[in-house]
Every structure is written in structure tokens, then in C-alpha cells.
């Protein structure tokens, strides 16, 4: 059976992973600037297998409002274009047979507001994940108390620690959200 320290360490590790995942998800949300991270969520049908775009091509950022995608296999260019057009990025690729150019247009006010809603939704998903981790830890503590391995005082201290971890990680997600919202709304 796990000890109180192991429960708390596990909860902290899992919460930190949730914060890191939130950070990487936010990087895939479009802002006014070109960023190779925009294409991280794009999977391409490559000979019947869903494959991440970054495994099929070199992604470049030659200028502030342009991405270039150079496929390793020129035969996959159509599928890459199709995957980009079917994504929620709202971008229109053009290709010259060897390379795909992806102009990043200025975001309209309405599109910025939509993106902020998407980012807030992602943040809420990650806050919920952190709270679920807290719930798991509290359940583990309860089991330790029920089995007689831990006293009420130790349980109370551990619950406070878990709550503090939850508050800290939720705040980190909120800070990431605030930063991303400002980035999206920046003209």
C-alpha cells in the first residue's frame, strides 16, 4: 500500500504533467504570428496511418506571417494539404509541388474571440484534470485512514498539502491562460 508521501509525490507529478500539457496545447493555438507549434496537432493520413505532420516534413518560419512545409516524401504533399485544410486552424495552404506555403493572415476580431474561447476551454479541461488528480489523492488518503495506517491528524495535514498543490497548479494553468489570451488578442 502507498504511503502518504508517495500519494502526494504522485499527485504532484501528475499535476505538473497536466500543466505542461496545457502549455503545449496552448502553443498549438494560433496567434497573429507564425509558429511551427501551430501544426503540432496536425495528423496526416500517410499510407493509411495517422502520422504527426512534424514526422513527415520540415516546418520552417521564413517570416512573421508565413510557414513553409517541406515534405520528406513529395508524394505526401496532397495529404498534408488536406489535413491542414480539415483542421480548426482556418488556414489555406498553397503548394508548388515541392513545398507547401502557409500564409498566416491577420486575425479578425471575431476569430480572436473564438480562439480565446478555445483557449479557455483547454484551460478548463486541464483544471478539471488537476481536480481529478486531487480527488484520486484524497481517495487514497481515505483508504489509508480506513485501513488504520494513518491517523486523522496526518490525514488532515496531507489533505492540506494536496489542496495546496491543487491551488498552485491551477494557478499555473490560469497564468498560462492569461498570457495566451493576451497573445491572441494582441493586434
Question: Is-above-0.75 flag for pTM?
Answer: no
- Reported as a single tens digit per residue, the pLDDT across 84-120 is 888 877 788 988 888 999 888 887 888 888 889 989 9
- Reported as a single tens digit per residue, the pLDDT across 138-172 is 999 999 888 888 888 888 999 999 999 999 999 99
User: Would you state the CATH architecture of domain 4-27+108-185?
Assistant: Orthogonal Bundle (1.10)
Distance CA 39, CA 3 (A): 42
State which fold the 36-103 domain adopts: Gyrase A; domain 2 (3.30.1360)
| CB neighbour class for 175 (10 Å; exposed up to 12, middle 13-18, buried from 19) | exposed
Q: Could you give the residue range(s) of every CATH 3.30.1360.40 domain in the chain?
A: 36-103
Q: Could you give the residue range(s) of every CATH 1.10.132.20 domain in the chain?
A: 4-27+108-185
Amino acid at each position: 500500500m502507498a504511503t502518504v508521501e508517495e500519494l502526494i509525490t504522485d499527485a504532484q507529478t501528475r499535476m505538473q504533467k497536466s500543466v505542461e500539457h496545457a502549455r503545449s496545447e496552448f502553443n498549438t493555438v494560433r496567434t497573429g504570428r507564425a509558429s511551427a507549434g501551430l501544426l503540432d496537432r496536425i495528423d496526416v493520413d500517410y499510407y493509411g496511418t495517422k502520422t504527426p505532420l512534424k514526422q513527415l516534413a520540415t516546418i520552417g518560419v521564413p517570416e512573421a506571417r508565413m510557414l513553409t512545409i517541406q515534405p520528406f516524401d513529395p508524394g505526401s504533399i496532397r495529404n498534408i494539404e488536406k489535413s491542414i485544410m480539415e483542421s480548426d486552424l482556418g488556414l489555406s495552404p498553397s503548394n508548388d509541388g515541392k513545398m507547401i506555403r502557409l500564409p498566416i493572415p491577420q486575425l479578425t476580431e471575431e476569430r480572436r474571440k473564438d480562439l480565446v474561447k478555445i483557449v479557455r476551454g483547454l484551460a478548463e479541461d486541464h483544471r478539471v484534470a488537476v481536480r481529478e488528480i486531487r480527488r484520486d489523492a484524497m481517495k487514497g488518503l481515505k483508504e489509508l485512514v480506513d485501513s488504520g495506517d494513518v491517523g486523522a491528524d496526518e490525514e488532515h495535514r496531507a489533505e492540506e498539502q494536496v489542496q495546496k498543490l491543487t491551488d498552485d497548479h491551477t494557478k499555473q494553468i490560469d497564468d498560462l491562460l492569461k498570457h495566451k489570451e493576451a497573445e491572441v488578442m494582441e493586434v
